[in-house]
Structure 1
Amino acid sequence: MSVTSSPQSTSRPRGAGRAAQLALWTVGVALVVLGLKFVAYLMTGSVALYSDALESVVNVAAALAALIALRVAARPADQNHPYGHTKAEYFSAVAEGVLIVLAALSIGREAIGGLLSPRELDAPYAGLLVNLGAGLINALWATRLLRAGAELRSPALLADGRHLRADVLTSVGVLLGVAAAKLTGLTWLDPALALLVAVNILWSGFGLVRESVGGLMDTAVDPQTESQIRRIMREHGDGALEMHDLRTRHAGRLAFIEFHMVVPGEMSVQEAHTICDRLEDAIRAEMPDSSTTIHVEPQDKAKHHGVLVL
């Protein structure tokens, strides 16, 4: 006998509307930052500032991809998608990683050209101030996205937040490098720094793709969450003999949990079902965005491992 709890089957995932709203704001923030960074580049002619601005183009494209993915992920489960649409967020994160890699290659090409033909910078300090303003906006919004992404367990928002945080670190390095190039007169520092920026962005892009592909491959929940599930099984499994073969996976903000529960052979279906209901309610109370499937087995199926209730 199997009992399944699917609280998401008839409604939108919790926090879906808020995540989509944040994604929409991210598009606006990305456009403002892009404009400021290109103004800084035009004011200075710096290859490093150009690379920083080009990464902001990626930010806009990534924000749009996240917005579309979050709106798809917010749709409730239907006949063709009984497990919901939350995995759409991973496609957004993969797309963002690919865009970052492409931007890094483009920046690298520009930086190599600058190394071969270095040039003096024009009005660098005013341009650096404009770029600094853009960096501060990114830093504030990255913090907002990371907090919301962790709270809502949204891969798309977390990917955007991490990307913007990497962009902030890049901007700081660019500002210091361009200032150093102007103060020392070593014009090659500017394109050399742009090349370092490209390498950093490339690493960030590969990391995003790797993490998002893991989500698409149904990786298990993190060890802390699994320990939480096992604790709930121990505390609320009165009447059962043991629970084993715990398997988990996550799809966006949803966690899917399944395990086998061994009960005495003489226990009635109604009594076993009552234990299942108690376990599902306890799991849902601590993990609202979850779906639990419990397979009930008689005593002779006990494996004597896993969560031993008695």
Structure 2
Amino acid sequence: MAEGAARLSLVVALLVLGLKAFAYLLTGSVALLSDALESLVNVAAALAALLALRVARKPPDQNHPFGHTKAEYVSAVLEGVLVVLAALWIAREALPRLLHPVPLEGLGLGLGVSLLASLLNGLLAYHLLKEGRRHRSPALTADGYHVLSDVLTSLGVVLGVGLAGLTGLWVLDPLLALAVAGQILFLGYRIVRESVGGLMDEGLPPEEVERIRAFLQERIRGRALEVHDLKTRRAGPRSFLEFHLVVRGDTPVEEAHRLCDELERALAQAFPGLQATIHVEPEGERKRTNP
């Protein structure tokens, strides 16, 4: 269940945040602080995703006839904004250390704790991405990619801080923190870009639209003349399709209606989460191309 994955994400995010904060307190490393701040964002994002999924699962009502699934995009936009704020906070902490590097202490235990947190995060990222694909959930998928990025960043930080401890090049610590800030900033941009696309009724990818078009052409062969004016949009785990179906002028209304019902069922089965709306047109509306 998507909501169960979101609850697990929140619990693990709190545990990882505690471990990373402990690692920072042991060492005083701003690179490990940046890692902990990203985990703080994970906690907020996991909570937002959980609330959004609870809203999104509500059935359609009079005020929301297409359902509440876009609530997930609101959650993902919030996560992206929090990620950007975390990046700016990290840069604020790291820049003074860049001019005045500070030796670090307690690196052995601190880095060990950070590695344990990364292991937990890696397992969580795999689970979230799997569940996000299975439930076609933007909130879970965004959370999964964020956690995965956190894992990769954490491993880089551990290696870098360890190298600083071995060589005495303490300037590596703030440099790593600034690199983490740049990575987080890019992640925030990607999350916001994808989520805003959903809120703006962005269509399905062109390759998926072509697959739908080819599927329809095969299904109507010998029963209708063509389909045209395909329009799509996404709303969380659901997708919406509208198109015009051109039938022969002498086609009975009942037969055209029966064909529409069959196409709607076939589309829903072939493309899970897709809801189709079909407008039937007579032969005179036929187009020689399929724009």
For the superposition of Structure 1 and Structure 2, which TM-score range results when normalised by the shorter chain?
Answer: over 0.9
In the other structure, the counterpart of 1:254 is: 238
1:91-134 per-residue CA deviation (whole Å, 9 max, x = no partner) reads 00000000000000000000002113321111101110100000
Q: Which moved more, 1:248-257 or 1:231-240?
A: 231-240
In the other structure, the counterpart of 2:20 is: 37
Please report how far the alpha carbon of residue 157 of structure 1 lies from its aligned counterpart in structure 2 after TM superposition: 0.5
TM-score, normalised via structure 1 length: 0.91
Please report how far the alpha carbon of residue 143 of structure 1 lies from its aligned counterpart in structure 2 after TM superposition: 1.0
Please report how far the alpha carbon of residue 46 of structure 1 lies from its aligned counterpart in structure 2 after TM superposition: 0.7
- Show structure 1 runs of 5+ residues with no match: 1-17
Letter in 2 for 1:263: V
1:230-257 per-residue CA deviation (whole Å, 9 max, x = no partner) reads 1321222141111100111110010100
Aligned mate of 1:76, from 35, 59, 69 = 59
Distance in 1 between residues matched to 2:11 and 2:285, nearest whole Å: 57
In the other structure, the counterpart of 2:224 is: 240
- Show structure 2 runs of 5+ residues with no match: none
In the other structure, the counterpart of 2:3 is: 20
Q: Secondary structure at the match of 1:58?
A: helix
Letter in 1 for 2:44: A
Identity of paired residues, percent? 58
In the other structure, the counterpart of 2:203 is: 220
Name which structure has the greater RCO, CA cutoff 8 Å, separation 6+. Answer: 1
> What pairs up with 1:1-310 in 2 under 5 angstroms?
18-238=1-221, 239-306=223-290
Letter in 1 for 2:290: G
Asked if 2 retains the 8 angstrom alpha-carbon contact of 1:44 and 1:124, the reply is yes
Q: Secondary structure at the match of 1:244?
A: strand
Distance in 2 between residues matched to 1:202 and 1:285, nearest whole Å: 39
1:10-34 per-residue CA deviation (whole Å, 9 max, x = no partner) reads xxxxxxxx11111011000100000
Please report how far the alpha carbon of residue 287 of structure 1 lies from its aligned counterpart in structure 2 after TM superposition: 2.1
Letter in 2 for 1:258: E
Distance in 2 between residues matched to 1:291 and 1:277, nearest whole Å: 12
Asked if 2 retains the 8 angstrom alpha-carbon contact of 1:236 and 1:278, the reply is no
Asked if 2 retains the 8 angstrom alpha-carbon contact of 1:232 and 1:279, the reply is no
Letter in 2 for 1:184: T
Q: Secondary structure at the match of 1:203?
A: helix
Q: Secondary structure at the match of 1:99?
A: helix
Asked if 2 retains the 8 angstrom alpha-carbon contact of 1:89 and 1:154, the reply is yes
Asked if 2 retains the 8 angstrom alpha-carbon contact of 1:232 and 1:282, the reply is no
Please report how far the alpha carbon of residue 306 of structure 1 lies from its aligned counterpart in structure 2 after TM superposition: 2.2
Letter in 2 for 1:155: P
1:273-298 per-residue CA deviation (whole Å, 9 max, x = no partner) reads 01111111110111231211000000
Distance in 1 between residues matched to 2:49 and 2:207, nearest whole Å: 27
TM-score, normalised via structure 2 length: 0.97
Distance in 2 between residues matched to 1:117 and 1:29, nearest whole Å: 35
Distance in 1 between residues matched to 2:283 and 2:217, nearest whole Å: 18
Asked if 2 retains the 8 angstrom alpha-carbon contact of 1:51 and 1:194, the reply is yes
